[in-house]
Amino acid sequence: MTNIGRSSLTADFWAAFATMLVVLPSSVAFGVTIYAPLGNSYAMMGALAGILGAIALGFVAAVFGATDRLMTTPSAPATAVLAAFALSSVHQGSSPEMVILLMTMMGVLTGFFQILIGFTRVGSLIKYIPHTVVSGYMTVVGLIIIISQLPSLLGVLHSGGFWQSVLHPQQWQFVSLVVGLVTVAGMIVSGQITQRVPSTIVGIFLGLLSYVLLSFWLPSLQTLSDNPFVLGALGVSLDGYLDTLTSRWQAIGGITLGQVAGLFGSALTLAAVLSIDTLKTAIVADQITNSSHEPNQELVAQGLANIASAGIGGVAGSGNMGATLVNINSGAQTRYSMLLVAVFTLLALLLFISVLAWLPKATLAAVLIVVGVRMIDLNALRLITSRTTAMDFGVVVVMVIVGLQFDLIMASAAGVALSIVLFLRAQVGNTAIHRKTFLNQRSSSWYRTESEVKTLEHYGTNTVIFELQGSLFFGVARELYNALAKEAQSRDYLIIDFLRVSSIDVTAAHVLAQVHGLLTKKGGRLVLCNLRDDDTSDMTGLLTQLCVVGETIDTKVLMTLDEAIEWVENKLLGHEEIDVATLPLLTVDDMELFQGRNEDTLVDLTASLVERKYVKGDKLYDVGDAGDALYLLRRGRVKIIAPIGGGRRLYHIATIGAGNFFGGLSFLDNHVRQDAAVADTDVDVYVLTRAAFNRLSTVHTRLGFVMLESIARSLGQRLRRSDGELTLLLE
């Protein structure tokens, strides 16, 4: 073993020892609480079940789990569900022995359900549970623990329920009150003074010490027999426990299928509760350790652990937040710390089983009450201070009411249902329209000539562009129809951009079908772009089913908004959809830049130009090249690409068509190229170098001046239009 290995093992050893000091007493407390409805004589059996659960859960989850340093132990959520089940079974007339058998079988079923949840990959959905639901869930569990333990803290020997215990002080026992309050005070004060010694250990030690001191005043406290204030003797030796366990499993064989089927609902509830609690704890552990767990594998491991726990007579459990934090903060390095906790717990059971009999019940109740109080999310109270979050606070309140009145699974279901309602309410309140513009406010990346720009500005109001956002569903359908239908009745082209749309349902798709009908009726065209077609949303498929798009339908579907705007521009300019590379070659007098020049001037100009050909994909110039030439496109199409934000990746920023020029900015200021020109088709160009231009200008001064003015005017027009669009996008 290397030095690093020894160092890690040493750290794991001491971290495991510190964690065991927390796990052992809390497991005893949880086990006692679960078995409490069966009667005082079963308290020690519950303590043993809690310890056995900690051993089995810790060992199996450590071996098969997917989260390093996650401590799996008996937990508050498991205690809340199992104690409620035991109490309900007793009220229905079941004997304590039968209740124990049913809880054992329920532990096995819970494990199988968790394994099923893991294999079906449902565990991955934990990330979608709203924070308010988690907050309400933890608060409900905390309140259930407090309510169940307060009678024991008060020392009510024959509790008739929470209110019966609280409202009748004459039933309170002085011994229990003193021991319990000392335990609570010890946990609170020690937690504020030091973190080196777990507050649970301090609290239990002080509680036990106060009990010893009281026993000098009340000698009856010094005996185990018929002592209602302590756990009492186990009643069976560890040597004979194997026979007891064997007898229990033989008795389970006599449980009817009807009884097993009756456990399905409770087992599924427990599986869901424990899975949520485990994955929530695993997420916190990941955040602290900068790691990442696999939720479905973890649930399979938790299921195996709960089956193993039930198999040896232990209680069910889950990932324990408190024990996990102690393990990590104590310096645990690997999952060996989890195995060592199980080993230390087993050794403690073998060596100190007799000491457990003297643990005061009030001390264990006090420990659980402190745990319950710490589970209550007091931060949720802040939600009520704002109108925007008051409804979220209502979710927590409803979960608390439902959880206390019924059970945890119904509380979780109510919380999720209300969160969905609030989400839908928020979606309905949001607009589905991100931006509405007209074509005379926007342009494609195609650099048009001055005459084409004037035409587009004149007819631009006949085309409206809607950029939609969010989820298009029935809640926004009316707003969407009112906005689109109004424009469809008065425009020739309606462009809809789905770039920011996450999903679309049938109702919203039907709205688009209605809008398409309105446009078709008046001879207009619907243009769609950025439709999402992937595993999460098949927009094209849905719109095809509703006859919005299709081979026989005139709706135009394009990849990007730039392509959609370009397509409409070409329609307004009367450009046919043909291969531009096959068009006739333009001459100098066809260029807008030189229109109006006399014939002699054009002859000299032509002599100064160099004719070049490029095939599709060739670079006419690249970023960093000398900017000493102006390019005049005679035929074909060229794309201008440039880096953005100092990066190396090049982005398409403009398209140049025949009759236009490019490379003018560097031609004017003589700086190196900041962009690249790539042939999008086979192209033919005129190239006018700076040297040739200077020679031409000495002969035709007026031509040189007009050329520079025309280039500057075109560049200024492009810049002005770009500035206008940037301003529009910032609104």
Examine the fold and report which residue of 328, 357, 375 is the final residue of a domain before the chain moves on: 375
* Rg of the chain, C-alpha, whole Å: 39
Q: Based on the domain organization, do 632 and 568 belong to the same domain?
A: no
In this structure, the answer to whether residues 566 and 601 fall within a common structural domain is no
Q: Which two tokens stand for residue 43?
A: 């308290």
In a domain, 404, yes or no: no
Pair (556, 693) in one structural domain: no
Same domain, 39 and 14: yes
pLDDT at 411: 83
In angstroms, the CA 511 to CA 494 distance is 14
Quote the CA–CA distance of 725 and 562 in Å, as a whole number: 13
Whether 639 has a pLDDT exceeding 60, the answer reads yes
Relative orientation angle of helices 450-459 and 701-730, to the nearest 10 degrees: 30
Q: Are residues 142 and 116 in the same domain?
A: yes
Length of the chain: 731
Longest dimension (CA), the chain: 129
**655: phi > 0 → left, psi -120 to 50 → alpha, else beta; which?**
beta
556 and 611 in a single domain? The answer is: no
Q: Is 279 helix (H, G, I), strand (E, B) or coil?
A: helix
Going through 345-462 in order, the beta strands assigned E by DSSP cover 433-438, 446-447
Specify the CATH number for the domain of residue 689. 2.60.120.10
596 and 550, same structural domain? no
| Cα 588 from Cα 498, distance rounded (Å) | 42
pLDDT band, very low/low/confident/very high, at 712 (cuts 50, 70, 90) = confident
Per-residue pLDDT of 39-54, as tens digits, reads: 877 888 888 999 999 9
**Is 409 part of any domain?**
no
Same domain, 59 and 150: yes
Tell me the residue range of the domain where 519 lies: 433-577
Residue 338 covered by a domain:
yes
Give tens-digit pLDDT for 577-612. Answer: 667 777 889 988 888 777 766 777 778 888 889 999
Clarify whether residues 571 and 650 are in a common domain.
no
What pTM did the predictor assign? 0.64
Is the model's pLDDT at 515 over the cut of 90? yes
Q: Could you tell me the CATH number of the domain that includes residue 450?
A: 3.30.750.24
Contacts of 454 (CB under 8 A, 6+ apart): none
Q: Is residue 230 part of a domain?
A: yes
Contact 211, 179 (CB under 8 A): yes
d(CA 671, CA 651): 21
β 446-447/650-657 pair status: parallel
In a domain, 192, yes or no: yes
- Asked whether 526 and 557 are in contact (CB, 8 A), the reply is no
Choose the final residue of a domain: 522, 547, 577.
Answer: 577
415, part of any domain:
no
* Per-residue model confidence as pLDDT tens digits over 58-117: 999 999 988 888 899 998 888 888 988 898 899 888 899 999 999 999 999 999 999 999
416 within 8 A of 130, measured Cβ to Cβ = yes
Domain total in the chain: 3
Q: Note whether residue 273 is domain-resident.
A: yes
278 and 131 belong to one structural domain: yes
Q: How confident is the model at residue 4 (pLDDT cuts 50, 70, 90)?
A: very low
* pLDDT tens track for 572-586: 988 766 677 778 899
Looking at the fold, whether 466 and 525 belong to one and the same domain comes out as yes
Instruction: Indicate the residue among 518, 547, 577 that finishes a domain.
Output: 577
Contact 82, 103 (CB under 8 A): yes
DSSP state letters, 479-503:
HHHHHHHHHHTT-SEEEEEEEEEEE
Average pLDDT over residues 676-702: 90
For 207, the token pair is 């509680």
CA 451 to chain centre: 52
Q: Tell me the DSSP string of 156-176.
A: -SS---HHHHHT-GGG--HHH
Tokens read off for 188: 């609170």
Cβ within 8 Å of residue 269, ≥6 positions away: 81, 407, 408, 409
Q: Say how far apart CA 66 and CA 62 lie, in whole Å.
A: 8
pLDDT of residue 2: 40
- Most confident by average pLDDT, 195-199, 260-264, 711-715: 260-264
**CA 401 to the chain's CA centroid:** 27
pLDDT by residue (tens digit) across 342-389? 999 999 888 887 787 888 989 988 888 888 888 788 888 777 877 777
Selected residue with higher pLDDT from 722 and 464: 464
User: Is the pLDDT score of 301 beyond 90?
Assistant: yes
**pLDDT tens track for 118-127:** 998 887 776 6
SS3 of 502, please?
A: strand
User: What percentage of the chain carries pLDDT values higher than 70?
Assistant: 93
pLDDT at position 731 over 70: no
- pLDDT band at residue 3 using 50, 70 and 90 as cut-offs: very low
Determine, yes or no, domain membership for 380. no
Is the domain of 552 the same as that of 638? no
